[in-house]
Amino acid sequence: MWAMFAQFKSNVGSISPAYFGVGMGLGGLASAWLQAASLYPGAAGVAHALFLLTAVIGSTVTLAYGAKVMFQFKLAVEDFCDTNIANFFPGFTISLLLLASWLDQQNFALSAPLWSFAAILHIGLAISVLRIWIVHNVEITIANPSMFVPIAGLFVVPATLPDDGSSTIALFCFAVALLFWLALLPVVLNRILFHGQLPQQFLPTLFVLIAPPALAASSTAVLSGAFTPLSEGFFFAGLFIALLLATMARRFFALSFHMSWWAFTFPSAALAGAALTRYAMMSEPDLGAGVLAVGLLLIATLIIGFVSWCTLRALISGALSNADRVPPSA
C-alpha cells in the first residue's frame, strides 16, 4: 500500500500547469459551437456536450494539480515561480469564465457570481504572473508566445460578460489586456525574429499570437453591442496571423507530440468564435462571411479533435510523463 502511495506521489509530481490548456481548448471550442447555435440551432447539442466534457476534464485536472500541491508542494512552488510554466496557470480561470458564459445562456442563477469569481481570480493570477516576469527578469531568449496566455484571459473576461455581470470589471480587464498585448507583442516578435528559432516544443505556442486580436474582436463586440470597425480590425489582424501560420503547416506536422500541442486549440477556437460573432451581427447577410465562419469552426474542430486523439493515445500508452512538461526557463 505504501508503495502504491509513493507511486501516486511520484505521478502527481509530473503534472504540469500546461494541462489546464486542455479545458481551455475544449471550452473555447464549446463556446464557438454555442455561438454557431445562435445561427444553426442544431449545433447546440455539440456545444452542450463539449461544455460538459470541459467541466469533467477541467475538474479532473484541477483535482490532480491540487494533489500535486498537497503531496509535492515544492514542485508546485517551482512551477509557479518559473517564468515559462507559470504562464499556463490562468488556463484554469479561462475555463471557468467560459463555463460561466455557458451557464448564463442556460439561465443558471449562479452564472454571474461564478463569472465574477473567475474574473477576479484571473486578475489576481495575471498580476502574479506579471510580477514573476519582473522579479525574475525574463531574458529575451526565454520570452515566447505563451506569455500571452494571461493577457488573452483578460480579454476573455469581457468576451464572456453575462447579462448580470459587472461591466466595470469587464472594461477594466479589456483596458489592461489591450495595454499589455500591445506592449508585449513587439518583445515577443523581437524574440522570434532576431534571437534564434524557438525550441521545437514551443513552436505550437506561435498559435497563441492569434488569441489576443481574436478575443479583442469578440470583446469589443460584446461591450459595444455591435461588430464595429474596431472589432473588424482586430478580427482581420487575428485572421492574418492565422494565414501566416497556415503557411508553416509542414513544420507543425513534423513535430513530435507534447502537451504544448494544446496551444493549437484555444486560439483556433477563439478565431472561429470571433468570425461567428461577426457574421451573426452583420446587418445584411454576407455569404462570404458565413462561409469563412463555418470554415474556421470546422478547422478548429478538426484541430482539437486531432490533438485530443493524440493526447488520449499518449495517456493510454503512458507517454505523458515528465518529458511532456513545459521546459523550465532556467
Domain locations in the chain as residue ranges = 8-324
End-to-end CA distance of the chain: 36
Distance of alpha carbon 85 from alpha carbon 75, whole angstroms:
12
pLDDT digits (tens, 9 = 90+) for 216-254: 999 999 999 999 999 999 999 999 999 999 999 999 999
Query: 88, 146 in Cβ contact below 8 A?
Result: yes
Q: Is 222 helix (H, G, I), strand (E, B) or coil?
A: helix
pLDDT of residue 143: 84
Instruction: Please state the φ and ψ torsions of residue 57, each to the nearest 5 degrees.
Output: -70, -40
**pLDDT for the residue numbered 135:** 85
Let me know if domain 8-324 sits in CATH 1.10.10.410. Answer: no
The larger pLDDT score, comparing residue 243 to residue 317, is at 243
In the 8-state DSSP scheme, what is residue 164? T
Three-point CA angle 86, 92, 96, nearest 5°: 155
227 φψ region: left (φ > 0), alpha (ψ -120 to 50), beta (else): beta
**Tens digit of each residue's pLDDT (9 = 90 or more) over 57-104:** 999 999 999 999 998 889 899 888 888 888 999 999 999 999 999 999
Per-residue pLDDT, averaged over 31-53, amounts to 94
Question: For residue 5, what pLDDT is reported?
Answer: 52
Q: For 6-30, what is each residue's pLDDT tens digit?
A: 555 666 777 889 899 999 999 999 9
Q: Say if CB 208 and CB 260 are below 8 A apart.
A: no
Whether pLDDT at 52 is above 80: yes
Q: Are 20 and 91 in contact (CB under 8 A)?
A: yes
- The residue type of 213 is P
What does the pLDDT read at residue 209?
97
pTM across the whole model: 0.93
Give CA–CA dist 57/35, Å, rounded: 22
264-314, pLDDT tens digit by residue?
999 999 999 999 999 999 988 789 999 999 999 999 999 999 999 999 998
User: What is the DSSP secondary-structure string of 292-307?
Assistant: HHHHHHHHHHHHHHHH
**Rounded Cα–Cα distance for residues 227 and 294 (Å):** 18
Categorize the per-residue pLDDT at 327 as very low, low, confident or very high, splitting at 50, 70 and 90.
very low
26, containing H or E segment: helix 20-37
Would you say 192 and 241 are in contact if contact means Cβ atoms under 8 Å apart?
no
Q: With the C-alpha atoms ordered 285, 288, 289, 292, is the resulting torsion angle positive or negative?
A: positive
What does each C-alpha distance from 110 to 80, 166, 170, 241, 242 come to in angstroms? 30, 14, 18, 37, 36
